[in-house]
Structure formats: C-alpha cells, structure tokens
Amino acid sequence: MAIVLMGSNLAYIGSKVSELVTRVFLSVKVAEIYESQFIDRRLVDDRRRQLRAKEVAVVLRRMSGSDIVLGLVDYDAYVPGLNFVFGIALPSLKVAVVFLARLRTPSHRLFTMRVFKEVLHELGHVFGLDHCAVPRCVMNFSNSVIEVDLKSMFFCKHCAKKLAMKGLEINRKYIME
C-alpha cells in the first residue's frame, strides 16, 4: 500500500494512519508515504469550493504503482448527488481517499479517531465490503460527524468474516465482541 498525503502538516496523521493500517490488516504493508503540500486546484469545483471526490481518487491512484493507494486529503469533497463525502473508495482501482476538512475538531484525539474510522471504512470498501446495518460497526454508513463519533473503530463479526473469506486477516482486537 502507498499512502498519499495532500495538504500541509499531514506527516504526523499520515504516520499514525500507517501504523493503524498495518495493525488492523495483518497482511497489508505500507511501502511508501508520499507528501504533496498542495491541493491540486484543477480538482476543485470553483462554485462549490469542494474537491470532486472521484477525480481526486483517480488522480491519487495514478501517483503510485502500489497495489493499494490510500489518500488523506485536507479539503472538503463531494460526489454528484451528495452535499459532501467524508471519503470515497473505488474498489475496482484499489484506491480509497479520506477527506479531512469535516472531520477536524479542536481535540486532536477525537480528530484522529474520526480519521481512523473513516480510513478503516473506506479500506473496507476497497477490500470488498458494503455498508453494514450493525450500528457500531465501522462499515455502518455515517452521514454526519455525530454518526462517525457514535460508531466504533471495529468490524462486526459479519464484516470480519467476509474479509476473512477474501483472504484478508484482521487483528482480532479490531473485531467487535
């Protein structure tokens, strides 16, 4: 996996996310972390002042030949039909992106938790999971930061089993009781 950071001062959260990903997904290795200080203005919808999420995912995917690309982008984003998205995953391209702007809060700890949940959620999609009806499962769909805060960082047994069937082993500490 490659992690691509877009925005300033993301090195710390990037390293924390890298640790998280290798801690949770036992067979995944983070081979490289790229940093780009600048948001690519061509990807911004000027009228909405938001990034076009899908285009960002495609552009980040092209930045690395790694098996999976995970982007952390410090800007707000949308897809047509939705006011905003916290993240996007394109499983066919093996790319996931989490947009940090709406997850920010004065508490660094809470911000990190939100980023962790959204990273695991979007990577879950990359690994073939759909949204999950179990309320606290990390694959539950979140429409607001309140909902992000309410769910856990863990995969329910159902989702963990689906991942295992795809050959993806998860750290048992990240599977709900």
* Catalytic residue positions, numbered: 122
Q: CB of 71 within 8 A of CB of 59? A: no
Please list the residues that pair with 170 across neighbouring strands: 25
Among 84, 134, 152, 171, binds Zn ion (CB under 5 A): 134
Residue ranges with strand state E in the chain: 2-6, 32-36, 44-45, 50-52, 69-73, 77-78, 87-90, 95-99
For position 73 contacting Zn ion by CB under 5 A, the verdict is no
Nearest approach, Cβ of 69 to Zn ion (angstroms)?
17
Among 5, 53, 139, 153, binds Zn ion (CB under 5 A): 139
Q: Which stretch binds Zn ion (CB under 5 A): 55-63, 108-116, 131-139, 166-174?
A: 131-139
Taking the least distance from each CB to Zn ion, the nearer of 33 and 61 is 61
String marking each residue 156-175 x if it binds Zn ion according to CB under 5 A: x--x----------------
Helix, strand, coil percent content, the chain, rounded in steps of 5: 40, 20, 40
Total interface residues for Zn ion by CB under 5 A: 6
3-state SS assignment for residue 122: helix
Amino acid at 128: G
For position 59 contacting Zn ion by CB under 5 A, the verdict is no
Two tokens, residue 151: 């769910």
For position 120 contacting Zn ion by CB under 5 A, the verdict is no
Q: Which residues bind Zn ion (CB under 5 A)?
A: 132, 134, 137, 139, 156, 159
